[in-house]
Structure 1
Amino acid sequence: MSYHIINIDSPRCSISCRQGQLTCIDEDGRTKQAPLEDVAAIVITSFSAQLHSHLLLEAAKHGVALVICERFQPVSLLLPANRSSDTLLTKAALSLERKKVDVLWRKTLDAKCLNQTLYAEFLVPEHAKLDVLRKRALGKAQSKEGTCARYYWGIFADALGLKDFKRARDGGGVNDLLNFGYAVLLSLTLQKLLACGLDPTLGISHEVRERSTPLAYDIMEPFRPCVDSRVARWLMEEVEAGDYRIDGRFRHYITEFILERVGYLGLEMDLKNCLESVVRSFRSAVLTGQTRSYKPWTPSNSKWAG
């Protein structure tokens, strides 16, 4: 399974595919190449890039997602269609009982809230709000996602010394760093869904909207703290306080979170492989109608859990 995520940020460049090689030539004539078969996604943040149609065709053949960004936020996802045409699987997804869909989402939500709690404990082991966060994460309240998020981001802000921080997509500052990391996670999730034949438009919780991929947002939820962890380490160890620039160095740093080792079902593996395993478990649950087959990720035997 390919896994490289290529970021293209040269102000003006030409992007094409030559003899199976993803090729980028910048305005100074410098050329960089990578085997397209090793690429999971291409994130384009360049404000003036030229895309050759042959690249779009070859990317589709190789199952590569193209994420086109404006101000470092994704505004377009170009997805290959040939890997999501599993008729039997699509039929099973469409006919899944509402009760079973709710169970799948509840398992996803429980994993997300638990992962947020584990990372908050790792960040500030003695924080006064940890007990409340843990109690909410283990509870069954319908509104626990929002409640856990409020406590979690409060602890996150305290750990980094961020005054008046609020998690908001358009909030600027640290939010921009998080958004970029989530865009990378989204592109990887889409790649895995398509590779397993799952239609990303058939979600289990996120609202279905025109040209949206709700299943990708559903599946990636428990993995968001992995991005949060990477961003926190960047702010604490790599840059001076208040430096929220999304430059080439940050983009290179943040995309490497997919290669970090995590625990999953008693095994240690790269996060990218863990995500694929989760997607495969979801596929099995949909095909068989057995929700117990779905195993969302929680780092039960990783560093967060000690």
Structure 2
Amino acid sequence: MSYHIVSIDTPECSISCKKGQLTCTTPEGSNSIPLEDVAAIVITSFSASIHSKLLLEAAKLGVALVLCESFKPASLVLPANRSTDTLLTRAQISLPKKIRDNLWKKTINAKTLNQLSLAQQIGPSHRAIPLLEMTAKGRKQHKESICARAFWDIYGDTVAETDDFKRGRNEGGINQLLNYGYAVLLSTVLQNCFALGIDPTFGINHVVRERSTPLAYDLMEPFRPCVDWRVAQWVKQHPDCQETDNWNVSPEFRRWVTGFPAVLIDYFGLHLDIRSCIEGVIRSFRKALIEQKSGLYKPWTHSNSKWAG
């Protein structure tokens, strides 16, 4: 499989293929990349035009096109010979329970360590830090739920500035901002799953429901603190909303939070934006599936002393 996943997000552009080059033309000019080096093209632009020549050439080279609406994948255009990836699908279906459990354990370990890292920055002296640290670094059976309670206790006191903060999809306050940010994160994970040929309906932990994508919910877990940090920055910069408890998802907030995938983070010695890091993580997960070796899966953990931004 070719390496690059190309994301097209320019508002007005024309995408074509000329002399083997994937070309994106905008009013400001054009950029090109050899189509043979592309694994998938993710189109989030709301007004891009796609030439039929590109569709044909992409099909010949096995390149997938992922068309998105509001950043969420809405259509997947695959070459006829890539309509199914038998090897990968079979590996997902037949994944042994022991390997599936190990993959989930690595995911939760990464998530809880990232929660600890963020909590130590936003509330270093908070009373719940010792419990969060002991649990995140330990092997307790229910570490995810224990860490979640401690983390949201810290987040509620230091970010929401309330002693009765409850994290939930239908709760008010800054939950609305968090929910929108998680939706953007989910869409980014889904884009990469589809681009890399992974069926997101086969999860490793989240329950399968009709029209759901449990694997995307699984793989996004370690990146949730990135959204939490983005929202914390927004709250700090808008004290007027804090005073009135008016946390509506405004157009300004949408523009702010959708920019978080471009924030730079470290991943195994590389300084990457979050979007590229997510791609790297999902590539490692794909390899772990095919080779049936959980050790090949490399979830992201925050390694800097300070969170960027």
Q: In which range does the TM-score fall when normalised by the shorter chain?
A: 0.7 to 0.9
- Identical pairs, percent: 44
In the alignment, residue 105 of structure 1 is paired with which amino acid?
A: W
How many residue pairs get aligned? The number is 272
- CA shift, 1:303, in A, is 2.5
Q: Pick closer, same or farther for the CA change 1:3–1:19 going to 2, 3 Å.
A: closer
Tell me which residue corresponds to 1:26: none
For 2:66, the equivalent position in structure 1 comes to 63
Map of 2:198 onto structure 1: 198
| Structural mapping, 1:78-117, within 5 Å | 78-80=74-76, 82=78, 85-117=84-116
**In the TM superposition, what are the counterparts of 1:22-171 in structure 2 within 5 Å?**
40=42, 42=44, 62-67=65-70, 78-80=74-76, 82=78, 85-163=84-162, 164-171=164-171
Rounded Cα–Cα distance in structure 2 between residues aligned with 1:5 and 1:215: 25
The code of the aligned residue for 1:89 comes to L
**C-alpha distance in structure 2 between counterparts of 1:202 and 1:126, whole Å:** 41
3-state SS of the aligned residue for 1:268?
Answer: strand
SS at match of 1:142: coil
Partner of 2:58: none
- CA deviations 1:173-212 (Å, max 9, x no partner) are 2111001101110110001111111100010000011111
CA contact (8 A) 1:262 1:270 kept: yes
Residues 84 and 198 in structure 1, CA contact (< 8 A), matched pair in contact too = no
Partner residue of 1:284 out of 283, 287, 293:
287
Q: Which runs of 5+ in 1 are unaligned?
A: 8-16, 22-31, 45-51, 69-75
Q: Which residue of 1 aligns with 2:278?
A: 275
After superposition, the Cα gap between the structure-2 partners of 1:206 and 1:291, relative to the gap in structure 1 and judged at 3 Å, is: same
TM-score (norm 1): 0.78
Counterparts in 2 of 1:259 and 1:289: CA distance versus 1, 3 Å:
same
Pair 101,136 (structure 1): closer, same or farther in 2 beyond 3 Å: same
1:300 aligns with 2:306: no
User: Are 1:84 and 1:199, in contact at CA under 8 Å, matched by a contact in 2?
Assistant: no
Report the Cα offset of residue 87 of structure 1.
1.5
Matches of 1:84 and 1:117, distance apart in 2:
41
SS at match of 2:69: strand
After TM superposition, the structure 1 stretch with the greater mean CA deviation from structure 2, 234-243 or 257-266, is: 234-243
Q: Which residue of 2 aligns with 1:256?
A: 259
User: SS where residue 141 of structure 2 aligns?
Assistant: coil
Classify the secondary structure of the residue corresponding to 1:62: strand
Structure 2, gaps ≥5 residues long: 17-26, 33-39, 56-62
Residue 217 to residue 41, structure 1, CA distance change in 2 (3 Å)? farther
For normalisation by structure 2, the TM-score amounts to 0.77
Quote how far apart the aligned CAs of 1:61 are.
6.2
1:265 aligns with 2:273: no
Give the counterpart letter for 1:92 in structure 2: A
Q: Deviations over 1:143-175 (max 9, x none)?
A: 111111111011011112432211000112211
Q: 2:232 corresponds to which residue?
A: 232
CA–CA separation in structure 2 for the residues paired with 1:216 and 1:102: 16
Counterparts in 2 of 1:127 and 1:18: CA distance versus 1, 3 Å: closer
Deviation at 1:260, TM superposition (A): 0.5
Q: 1:4, 1:153 → 2: CA distance?
A: 35
Question: Is this contact kept in 1: 2:64–2:77, CA < 8 A?
Answer: no
Q: Which has the larger radius of gyration?
A: 2
CA displacement, residues 67-114 of structure 1 (integer Å, 9 cap, x when unaligned)? 59xxxxxxx862416377321111111111110000000000110011
Hey, what's the Cα distance between the residues in 2 that align with 1:84 and 1:156? Answer: 44
